[in-house]
Amino acid sequence: MADGRFAPSPSGDLHLGNLRTALLAWLFARSTGSRFRLRFDDLDRVRPGAAQRQRDDLAALGIDWDPPVWRQSERASAYADAITDLADRGATYECYCTRREIQQAPSAPHAPPGAYPGTCRNLSAGRRAELQADGRRPALRLRATVDEFTVIDDLRGRYTGSVDDLVLRRGDGVVAYNLAVVVDDAAQRIEQVVRGGDLLASTPRQAYLASVLGLPPLRYAHVPLVLNADGRRLAKRDGAVTLADRRARGQSPAEVRRALSHSLDLPATDTIEQLLTAFDPDKLPRSPWRYTDARTTLTPRLT
């Protein structure tokens, strides 16, 4: 048994790729008799009413969850405690770099593009005072002691990725997503995280942070993405891609769920509960699903 979760950002309506991932996360959890949690990662980019619409869409597909529903915006004290713990152990430092300076800085040896090169890691007190006098507001970074970390993915096996001095708190005082998600997954006793394959590269950083905080390791399942007709990750600009869009074209939520099931090589059952008996993670497709917008029907096309 492995408790699971779905944690969308309430920045707008869920599209078919989000709904497909939510369905998979639900299947992974419920097929083992585990709890399934819903959490809104609402530290940034919140649109009024989006969280309720997302809840309504999940429920319309038959996806249920175990209460309570969490919101990251209500968890400030837990994040502050984690930062204090790290700071007390000398595992943090202030970073005054702008985004442009980071992009233009030479990369550290063997570091992947975009990795933070450690510019502010060993700033003197005098230099910090100068930067503060210039009006710079520092972010807080983790002082990482490894360059890479390995996680186990139920669909992809062992995956080793790079680790840099990730941001824990931004310069504007907002807690960074990487810290919040790690703290919340542990607090909710999540054991398995099912999410889109585009997030696999960031997972070793989060898993490393969890290990530094002394939190239990997670299992992962990074599922293939839904792509648009051009082979890019599906977005709301790609046509009728939300449940509301599909309803406007005459499709019921049950029909949308059956199409999503078909894209996962699962039977088009009458109820979501019937999917549980057919669900086998080992038989899930390992390649993306290419969604082609049809004017009247949702046409699943596998690539």
Q: How far is Cα 118 from Cα 106, in angstroms, rounded to an integer?
A: 10
Residue 138, pLDDT score: 96
Confidence of residue 297 (pLDDT cuts 50, 70, 90): very low
Please enumerate, by residue number, every residue annotated as part of a binding site for ATP: 236
Please enumerate, by residue number, every residue annotated as part of a binding site for Zn(2+): 95, 97, 116, 120
Q: What is the pLDDT of residues 157-169, one digit of tens each?
A: 999 999 999 999 9
Residue 109, pLDDT score: 56
4-73+225-302 maps to which CATH number?
Answer: 3.40.50.620
- What is the spatial order of strands in the sheet that 226-227 belongs to? 226-227, 289-292, 299-302
Please enumerate, by residue number, every residue annotated as part of a binding site for L-glutamate: 5-9, 41, 177, 195
> Exposed, middle or buried by CB within 10 Å (0-12, 13-18, 19+), for 278?
middle
Domains in the chain: boundaries: 4-73+225-302, 76-222
Residue 223, pLDDT score: 95
Residue 107, pLDDT score: 64
| Architecture of the structural domain at 76-222 | 3-Layer(aba) Sandwich (3.40)
Please enumerate, by residue number, every residue annotated as part of a binding site: 5-9, 41, 95, 97, 116, 120, 177, 195, 236
Same-fold call for 4-73+225-302 versus 76-222? yes
Q: What is the pLDDT of residues 267-284, one digit of tens each?
A: 989 999 999 999 999 999
Tokens 């310069």 sit on residue: 171
Is the pLDDT at 292 greater than 90? The verdict is no
pTM of the complete model? 0.91
Residue 153, pLDDT score: 96
Q: What is the pLDDT of residues 23-73, one digit of tens each?
A: 999 999 999 999 999 999 999 889 999 999 999 999 999 999 999 999 999
Kindly report the backbone phi and psi dihedral angles of residue 68, in degrees, each rounded to the nearest multiple of 5, phi listed first. -85, 160
